[in-house]
Amino acid sequence: MTAFYFALWGLAAVLGATAIGGLVWAIRRGEFDDLRAGAASIFDEEEPIGHVTDRFPGE
């Protein structure tokens, strides 16, 4: 049972280190520098930001 807990803690440490490494990588690449541009990138050029243009059928 002790080996199971060592393996479980080891897996948690590896996953945690991977998450921290990914965060450091993203910060160094500048992924968090301009969050508004990423949020607006899903809109078309002619679609106004902040106005609902899509509707579900029947609404």
Structural domain contains residue 25: yes
Among the listed residues 40, 37, 21, the one whose alpha carbon sits nearest the alpha carbon of residue 29: 21
Model confidence at 20, pLDDT cuts 50, 70, 90, reads very high
The residues near 40 (Cβ < 8 Å, ≥ 6 apart) are 49
Residue 38 lies inside a defined structural domain of this protein: yes
**Using an 8 Å Cβ cutoff, are 26 and 32 in contact?**
yes
Q: Is the pLDDT of residue 27 over 70?
A: yes
Domain tally, the chain: 1
Which positions ≥6 away from 47 have C-beta within 8 Å?
A: 53
Q: Is residue 23 part of a domain?
A: yes
pLDDT at 54: 75
Distance of CA 7 to the CA centre of its chain: 28
- Percentage of the chain beyond pLDDT 70 is 97
Domain range for 20 is 16-43
For residues 18 and 32, the model is more confident at 18
What pLDDT shows up at residue 12?
Answer: 98
Q: Is the pLDDT of residue 34 over 70?
A: yes
> Is residue 21, in this structure, part of any structural domain at all?
yes
Q: Is residue 49 part of a domain?
A: no
